Structure 1
Amino acid sequence: MAQPGKRNASGRTRAIVVALLLGVVVGLGLHAAGPAAVEAATRCATLLTGLFLRLVRMIIAPLVFATLVSGIGSLGDGTQVLRIGGRILLWFIVASFLSLVTGLLAANLLQPGVGFTVPQGGDTGLAHAHFDPVEFVLHVVPTSIFDAMARNDILQIVVFSVLFGLALPAAGKGAQRMILPWTAELARIMLRMTDMVMYAAPVAVFGSVMGSVAHSGVGILGMFGVFLCKFYGTLGVLWVLLTTMTFCVLGRRVFALAKLLIQPILLGFATASSEAVYPLLVERLELFGVPDRISGFVLPLGYSFNLDGSVLFQSFGALFIAQAYGIHIPVGQQIAMVLVMMLSSKGIAGVPRAALVTLAAVMPQFGLPEAGLALILGIDHFLDMARTATNVLGNGYAAAVAARWEGELADHALEEGE
């Protein structure tokens, strides 16, 4: 029997597909109608996508603070928790860095944004600002968390939230008992708000696709197809790299694990929802020999800190937008961007379209116009399907690695079946 969450995800997928197809049809009609119709379509698209992106930005600051503080603070100070958590967080950091660098190198090599027609009215003035490493380092530390939240400065919010979360266990049990339930509830509320905002995604997808097709004609559809192929190919390379990393710990058993993970990966791809996959993923890991105690700790942590597909999209998507606008980002600034995204990608847990939300927060710091998100929005659901499948693979690998490090991975493994 289908679970409510799966039915909801399926319904939203259908709504987005319908909005996408409707946007193509209406956009082609307006493109054929002449310049006046194209101008009207552009203004309508700007309104629809602009409202959606403002709603997304509205939830960033409280969501990042609540999820990071509750996630880090709840680790506690138990020896075993710190040992498992410390080891697996190091794995998460390496996997995230590998994902970001893979996306960065692929975007530089494949040039996915070259040739795209950018949305009209995009302001690229910030793109020519000089990057100063000293100013960047000084900027990392906020002078006021309220000022950082008011400006949606994701990096400063992350730094404050990480320090706050680390300070909680040191402040004693009383502080943890008072603050952690509050931040957990705040995170739950913000996740519900995010879910509410995502109900507007089909309208925004319609506006984005309709405006792009009306402005550029049928040629934009082929460009979107090429972009999807390049992104999926890049994720394929990341899958090979993650499997190689895991092979170094598990040996040949990684192939049996990969076979067991096929079903949750396909479910994640179909629903674009990590939450829908969680019960099945725990079940398949148990078949592989990972104790529930390990998977029950590592997977929720991974959903917060180990979103490999979403992280790869950060660097790939940012350079795609820069290329579409003809903005040159020097190597030094690209490295700084990777470092910022390493932190910012840890600040949003289990959020629908988490990669899009985080990218929207990071882009202004590097002079990338937010209007460029309209290029991605129309096909983001298909990007999100692949990102979610990659996140499932990465967290399945991480749980098995943690079990091996703890010496609790069972010797037997079922390689197939229900």
Structure 2
Amino acid sequence: MKSRLLVKAIVIAMISGVVLGGMLHSQLDTAAAKEVAGYLNLITDVFLRLIKMVIAPLVLATLVTGVASMSGNGSMGRVGFKAITWFMIASLVSLSIGLLLANFFQPGTGLNLAVSGDAVNSGLNTSAFSLPLFLTHVFPRSIIEAMGSNEVLQIVVFSLFFGSALAFVKGKGQFIVDILEELANVMFRVTDYVMYVAPLAVFAAIAATITVHGLDMVVTFGKMVGQYFLGLALLWTLITLAGYLALGPRIKDLFKHLREPLLIAFSTASSEAAYPKTIAALDTFGANKRVSSFVLPLGYSFNLDGSMMYQSFIVMFIAQAYNIEMTFSHQIMVLLTLLVISKGTAGVARGSLVVLAAGLPMIGLPEAGLLLILAVDPVLDMGRTATNVFGCGVATAVIGRHGNEDPIETANDTEKSLQAV
């Protein structure tokens, strides 16, 4: 009942935020609108800070216990292989959908923009993105530093090592495993407290965006935004179909449990904000808890379905806007380039835009094209973030359903799932 009330409160907050934002945008000038939006964003910033406070200890506790329980019977390698296979296939499908829809709808055709030789500052920190920097950044110098800066990928790496070592020492490390399991339970309770702020944060986030940009930002780029969300709908359909093939009718139960984290992800445009509720939803759904705690953090770093579709779609939009011909071989290069560089943006602020800013010069497109979408990007960001969370949730549920190698444990998990439902 509490979950249903929270979902209703978030929906009401979203509608109220649109109404207030529209009123403020119509009454205030540009400077005043930005000032008011800054005050509204304070509420959202506080909420996101509270969520980030939970992320690091929760990822550490759940992932270490999951790895420790799987390493002993050798199932971690099998689960990891299944996860990486799913992530790569999903990434290729997502990128392909973006390319196909952009070729079909031609959203940028008719803009007829001229390529300028002047350098353009997009406001994005592309210096934070490079392959050598990413490879060295993956491995933490200190777990304290990684947790302090919420570097999820570094926490994942440490947890893999630490969990495997706990499994090796067997009974001697059980005390630590028990402590971490209790820590995870405590952090879930803290998350429940933080979620009381969620509707207010959602209201503030929506109102701030509409106050500055107005509803015109959707109307002006309405055609492109509609085509983009059609692509997301197609992607959701394919993910749902894959989930149905693996889970059967229980996919409906998964939707019900994921409804709350998806609303949070959409309205705040933050996948981190949805992480605690996502892993709790998977646990309630009945997915293998050990597998979920291992796969979901990996998915948050490598299984960004919505972001991948967004990147390929926008690349084609920019090419069409500047009348730059993209041959089939060029588009294949775009797909492969985005497939590689998108895996290096975990923890990078505004990661999808950073990928575009870093990737456009690689494929011969003007970085100035990013300025075309900056105004409407908050709306696109909501869609791609919710899709990222949805894709990770379904992938984790499927792998968690088939990742258990112990028949006795499988029976116990099934009984718990039925009781939860």
TM-score normalised by the chain length of structure 1:
0.62
Instruction: Specify the alignment match of 1:337 in structure 2.
Output: 341
Instruction: Specify the alignment match of 1:315 in structure 2.
Output: 308
Describe how 1:384-399 pairs up with structure 2 within 5 A: 390=391, 393-399=394-400
Asked if the contact 1:169/1:176 (under 8 Å) is kept, the reply is: no
- What is the distance in 1 between the residues matched to 2:294 and 2:241? 23
Structure 1 residues 16 and 53, CA gap change in structure 2 (3 angstroms): same
- What is the distance in 1 between the residues matched to 2:15 and 2:39? 20
Number of residues paired by the alignment? 361
- Could you tell me which runs of 5 or more consecutive residues in structure 1 were left unpaired when the two chains were aligned: 31-35, 116-121, 247-253, 283-293, 345-357, 411-417
- What is the distance in 2 between the residues matched to 1:239 and 1:264? 10
Matched residue type, 1:315: M
2:176 equivalent to 1:176:
yes
Matched residue type, 1:191: T
Deviations 1:249-274 (A, max 9, x none): xxxxx5xx433433543564487365
Deviation at 1:204, TM superposition (A): 0.7
Deviation at 1:202, TM superposition (A): 1.6
Asked if the contact 2:126/2:357 (under 8 Å) is kept, the reply is: no
- What is the distance in 2 between the residues matched to 1:113 and 1:188? 46
Matched residue type, 1:337: I
Describe how 1:95-114 pairs up with structure 2 within 5 A: 95-110=86-101
- Could you tell me which runs of 5 or more consecutive residues in structure 2 were left unpaired when the two chains were aligned: 109-119, 263-276, 320-332, 359-370, 412-420
Instruction: Specify the alignment match of 1:232 in structure 2.
Output: 233
Deviation at 1:373, TM superposition (A): 8.8
Describe how 1:176-325 pairs up with structure 2 within 5 A: 176-177=176-177, 180-181=180-181, 183-184=183-184, 187-188=187-188, 191-192=191-192, 195=195, 198=198, 199-213=200-214, 216=217, 218-221=219-222, 223-240=224-241, 257-265=247-255, 268-269=258-259, 272=262, 274=278, 281-282=285-286, 295=288, 297-298=290-291, 311-317=304-310
Deviations 1:264-290 (A, max 9, x none): 4356448736578658844xxxxxxxx
2:40 equivalent to 1:37:
no
Deviation at 1:201, TM superposition (A): 1.7
Q: Secondary structure at the match of 2:214?
A: helix
Backbone CA RMSD of aligned residues: 5.2
Deviations 1:55-95 (A, max 9, x none): 536754x5443233212321365679634454334322322
Asked if the contact 1:88/1:398 (under 8 Å) is kept, the reply is: yes
Matched residue type, 1:124: S
Q: Give identity over the alignment, percent.
A: 17
- What is the distance in 1 between the residues matched to 2:145 and 2:106? 34
Describe how 1:152-167 pairs up with structure 2 within 5 A: 153-167=151-165
- What is the distance in 1 between the residues matched to 2:37 and 2:154? 32
Instruction: Specify the alignment match of 1:140 in structure 2.
Output: 138
Structure 1 residues 195 and 38, CA gap change in structure 2 (3 angstroms): same
TM-score normalised by the chain length of structure 2:
0.62
Instruction: Specify the alignment match of 1:73 in structure 2.
Output: 64
- What is the distance in 2 between the residues matched to 1:224 and 1:262? 28
Q: Secondary structure at the match of 1:65?
A: helix
Asked if the contact 1:38/1:214 (under 8 Å) is kept, the reply is: no
- What is the distance in 1 between the residues matched to 2:392 and 2:134? 30
